[in-house]
Structure 1
Amino acid sequence: MWLVFLKEIKELVRDRKTLFFMIALPLLVFPAIFGVVTFVSSKAISDAQSEVLDYAISGAEYAPELVSKIAESKDFNLVALPENENIESWVKNEQADFVLVIPENYNDDILSGGQIILKVYLNDAGLNLVLSRLQAIVNEISERNQQAAFAQLGLTESQQTALIEPMVIEKVDVADQRENWGEKIGGFIPYIIFMLCLQGAMIPATDLGAGEKERGTLETLLISPVPRHHLVMGKFFAIALAGVTSAMVTVASMAVWGIVLSQGMAIQLVAEFMGAISGTDFLLIFFMLIPVVAIFSSILLSLSIYARSFKEAQGYMTPLVMFTIVPVIMAMLPGVELKGGWAWVPLTNVALAIKELIKGTMDYVQLIAIFGSTALIAAALIGFCVYWFNKEKVLFR
């Protein structure tokens, strides 16, 4: 069995395509993709913030001060609004980025004028930051009018605060930083790891089954004095090792690049969060991935053995991604916790356990159900894989 395992590992190492997907892709391509997305996003926001927006005003005569302050801003460029023009159609036809409509009841004295509603017509489908820029100018005038009204009423500072916010809810969070971070990102980590384990094992599995058929080397392997179940287990362990390696390399790569690219407080927060997770929790996460990888590897090898060609094997394996995503997404749903029956649901229980371990709120007794159910399913699938490999009509379809 181990001779077969070493043979398959050597072939995987010699295959540049497999090495690229297992090591080079996680180390370089994924961080590069995230870097490009971050750069493009930040550039788009920066461009939107610096873009000069064309605008028109309806009812400018009611608020000369507001109109003057908007005109003084370098963020805006005034254009003429045609008379009797439908404002919505005019903005939709991109004649201006927005139109500000000032009502007749505009008044600096808010005690007599009441609340003023300024309407802004814009196409908000794109990134334009119209409201945030306009709000800064409006807030300046609003705060001044508010202070003038308070002065007329003769209110003290405490009375002013109480009038603006009569009742305030103060949140006292009893969760520590680790639990907060774990709740926010703990659900996505199993999703990433499961997908990487599956993708990392998929290419070797396709090659070690259907690939052997296409190359005509499967027959030579079968007539060797090696028991069939040893052949299956050798291939199985090679696929499992590829899946675990791909996942671990990718996670390590993201962690390293995140620390390298972060600065100042970000590094401190990441260090504090990672430091709060004990080595035991990391080991438990790793050990829980072993039966998960075994499940993926046995299913992938069974499909690859059944397929007549490399292309057919890929067609069988692609839907497996959806079957993996669904139980992991279920672990992210509100109300789904590692209690009762959820501890026995395959994949979902592991995803929930990883989340709890990251949060530091794990009930370690539940590990019995998690390891038990996952290992049982993995053993059954490995047994099926051995049975499948012993059927001549499957091997020589």
Structure 2
Amino acid sequence: MFEVFKKEITELLRDKKTLIFIVALPVAIFPLLFAVMAFISSQAALEAEQKVHTYAIINGQYAQSFTDKVFYHKSFELYKGEQTFTSVEELSEAVKAGIIDMGIYLPSDAKQTLDDAKQSQWQVVYNDAKTINFLFDRVKELAEEFGNNLRAQKLLSYGIDEQQQQAIIAPIKVVKVDTADKRENLGEKIGGFIPYLLIPLVLMGATYPAIDLGAGEKERGTLETLLLTPITRTQLVLGKFITLLAASIATTTITVLSMGIWISIAITFVDLAVVKTAFSSLRVLDLALIFIILLPVAAIFSSLALAISIYARTFKEAQNYMTPLSMGVIFPIIVALLPNIELNAKTAFIPVTNVALAIKEIIKGTIDYTLLGLIFLATVVVAGALLAFCVKWFNKEAVLFR
């Protein structure tokens, strides 16, 4: 069995393509992913923040101070074309045609409407289908400021001073007291995405070598030679399994270490107080727990990948079979990302989902060690069952010589 392991590891280390997926990709994935995501999101937000939008306003004289503030706002530029607008419908058509970015319709004099004890309804016409759009929020902020001034002046005319106005307008002020610390709060928001990166990388560390160890042997015609050696088929499949497990564990180790190193670099050089507070409390023990909980997952993936590769007749066929496996792994991770899906006695026994939830809880710093033990035990049992199936699968002539 160990001779088979030695042979397969030697061949594996000679394959540069496999080494890229096992070593280089886990090392590079976190800095590349974080850097690209941060750059794209910051650039998109910056462009949306700095973009100057063309607007048209109907009946601006009804709220002159508001109209002036919109005119002098750095994000808005008054439409200077020849076309005139007199209704909301015309503004809508102009926005759809790309003539203007936004239209504002003021139906009546705001001060007079307030004097008549009525509410003035202003309409902002724009395209809200864009991912990042500050148009409505900026106009709403300026309109609320104008409305607050109108209200304050009206209440002052009734003899109600500013202090009394605050008490009347907001007699009760609700203050949030959050019992979750910043690590738990941030971990709840982004902790679910860490397994989305880690677990597929562990799978990748098993699948690519597995294709070569099973289907690759068949395609090269060397599987028959291995079967003629004085080694039982059980020893042969165990040797190949240990090779895959070692490759997957190597990927797991590199991935977890890479995550820890790049997080430590990020909190050192990135000037984000919230991120520093949250991840500076991430201990070496937490990373060790993530590594340990991923070990039986690596065994599960190694067994499945080897069984699929043994069944496939060619390298290409094995690659085609690995695609559904990848999709099958992604689905339970997505389940762990769903709202109100928490780690409990029930979810602790759902394969892959339980590990994703456990990693999330570890990052949050709220892991229940009893549930963590249950997850590890359940995952080990599943890994053992799949390994037994893989051994039985390898002993079938109909599978080996399709």
TM-score by length of 2: 0.87
Alignment pair present for 1:106 and 2:110: yes
CA distance in 1, matches of 2:170, 2:326: 50
Alignment pair present for 1:115 and 2:116: no
Distance change in 2, residues 1:193/1:102 (3 Å): same
Q: Which amino acid is 2:60 matched to?
A: A
Q: SS at 1:331's partner residue?
A: helix
CA distance in 1, matches of 2:144, 2:346: 53
CA distance in 2, matches of 1:132, 1:380: 56
- Of residues 227-236 and 142-151 in structure 1, the stretch that sits farther from structure 2 once superposed is 142-151
Distance change in 2, residues 1:190/1:395 (3 Å): same
Q: Is the 8 A contact 2:348 2:375 kept in 1?
A: yes
Alignment pair present for 1:170 and 2:175: yes
Residue matched to 1:201: 206
CA distance in 2, matches of 1:32, 1:171: 37
**RMSD (Å), alpha carbons:** 2.8
State the identity as a percent.
Answer: 46
CA distance in 2, matches of 1:269, 1:133: 26
Q: SS at 1:107's partner residue?
A: helix
Q: CA deviation at 1:56?
A: 1.3
* Unaligned 5+ runs, structure 2: none
1:120-157 residue CA offsets vs partner (Å, 9 max, x unmatched): 11112224422233344434433433432343344355
Q: Is the 8 A contact 1:109 1:145 kept in 2?
A: no
Q: CA deviation at 1:216?
A: 1.9
Alignment pair present for 1:188 and 2:189: no
Q: Which amino acid is 1:76 matched to?
A: E
- Of residues 312-321 and 60-69 in structure 1, the stretch that sits farther from structure 2 once superposed is 60-69
Q: CA deviation at 1:214?
A: 1.4
Q: SS at 2:369's partner residue?
A: coil
Residue matched to 2:304: 299
Q: Is the 8 A contact 1:23 1:249 kept in 2?
A: yes
1:271-311 residue CA offsets vs partner (Å, 9 max, x unmatched): 54445455444433322222111111101100000000111
Q: Is the 8 A contact 2:252 2:294 kept in 1?
A: no
CA distance in 1, matches of 2:123, 2:293: 56
Residue matched to 1:138: 143
Q: Is the 8 A contact 2:95 2:126 kept in 1?
A: yes
* Unaligned 5+ runs, structure 1: none
Q: Is the 8 A contact 2:12 2:209 kept in 1?
A: yes
**Among 81, 85, 103, the residue aligned to 2:84:** 81
CA distance in 2, matches of 1:87, 1:40: 32
Residue matched to 1:315: 320
How many residue pairs get matched? 397
Alignment pair present for 1:222 and 2:230: no
CA distance in 2, matches of 1:128, 1:275: 33
Q: Which amino acid is 2:126 matched to?
A: L
**Among 377, 384, 389, the residue aligned to 1:384:** 389
Q: CA deviation at 1:166?
A: 2.5
Q: CA deviation at 1:55?
A: 1.4
Q: Which amino acid is 2:261 matched to?
A: V
Q: SS at 1:104's partner residue?
A: coil
Alignment pair present for 1:356 and 2:356: no
**Among 246, 254, 262, the residue aligned to 1:241:** 246
Q: Is the 8 A contact 2:184 2:278 kept in 1?
A: no
Q: Is the 8 A contact 1:106 1:113 kept in 2?
A: no
Q: Is the 8 A contact 2:26 2:201 kept in 1?
A: no
CA distance in 2, matches of 1:358, 1:64: 53
CA distance in 2, matches of 1:81, 1:197: 62
Q: Is the 8 A contact 2:345 2:371 kept in 1?
A: no
Distance change in 2, residues 1:373/1:41 (3 Å): closer
Distance change in 2, residues 1:244/1:273 (3 Å): farther
Distance change in 2, residues 1:332/1:238 (3 Å): same
Distance change in 2, residues 1:199/1:154 (3 Å): farther
Q: CA deviation at 1:101?
A: 0.3
- Of residues 78-87 and 161-170 in structure 1, the stretch that sits farther from structure 2 once superposed is 78-87
Q: Is the 8 A contact 1:294 1:378 kept in 2?
A: yes
Q: SS at 2:306's partner residue?
A: helix
CA distance in 2, matches of 1:337, 1:65: 51
Q: Is the 8 A contact 1:57 1:81 kept in 2?
A: no
Q: Is the 8 A contact 1:109 1:149 kept in 2?
A: no
Q: CA deviation at 1:82?
A: 4.4
Q: Which amino acid is 1:43 matched to?
A: Q
Q: Is the 8 A contact 2:102 2:125 kept in 1?
A: yes
Q: Is the 8 A contact 1:54 1:76 kept in 2?
A: yes
CA distance in 1, matches of 2:212, 2:151: 73
Distance change in 2, residues 1:277/1:223 (3 Å): same
Residue matched to 1:152: 157
Q: Which amino acid is 1:118 matched to?
A: W
Distance change in 2, residues 1:9/1:66 (3 Å): same
**Among 100, 124, 130, the residue aligned to 2:128:** 124
Q: Is the 8 A contact 2:211 2:305 kept in 1?
A: yes
Q: Is the 8 A contact 2:256 2:290 kept in 1?
A: no
Residue matched to 1:39: 39
